[in-house]
Amino acid sequence: MTHRILIVEDQADIRKLIRMTLEFGDFELHEAADGESGLNLARAVRPHVMLLDVMMPGLLDGYQVCRHIKQDPQLRGIQVIMLTARGQATDVAAGEDAGADAYLVKPFSPLELIDRVEAMVSPDAVP
């Protein structure tokens, strides 16, 4: 089974790095450059995992997108990994408050990213 991954990140070079990291797995990758298009794409493709940047331009930041996902009965099953350069305890707490399932602080290791994503889509993962 191919798992759908949605990458929501405003920096093209980071999106490319994530895509290159994950394209060797059995994943169908989708990308968005801001919160609004990320939320719309999540509704359209129903990803299994969403990699979500916190600070993005536009109307919705990552925390707000995460909150929308987790409050929507049709989307709440999406596993959300917050990606951010801000790794303070208050930032992690804000991610948890928004409903994030995991938190990766930039710069993160590609191996750590793969491990997190694979753990979330494994048959043993609890939805």
Please tell me the pTM assigned to this model.
0.93
Q: 3-121 is classed in which CATH architecture? A: 3-Layer(aba) Sandwich (3.40)
Please report, rounded to a whole number, the percentage of residues in the chain having pLDDT higher than 90.
77
Measured over the CA atoms of residue 127, residue 116, residue 7 and residue 27, the dihedral's sign is negative
Least confident range from 48-52, 76-80, 119-123: namely 119-123
Least confident range from 34-43, 47-56, 81-90: namely 81-90
pLDDT of 73-98, one tens digit each? 999 999 999 998 877 888 889 999 99
pLDDT of 109-120, one tens digit each? 999 999 999 999
The candidate with the shortest Cα–Cα distance to 17, out of 91, 90, 112, is 112
Which H or E element spans position 7? strand 3-8
Q: What letter does residue 78 receive in the DSSP assignment?
A: S
Specify the pLDDT at position 123: 73
* Beta bridge mates, 52: 8, 82
CA–CA separation, 81 and 123 (whole Å): 18
Q: What Rg value do the Cα atoms of the chain yield, rounded? A: 13
User: Domain residues of the chain, as ranges?
Assistant: 3-121
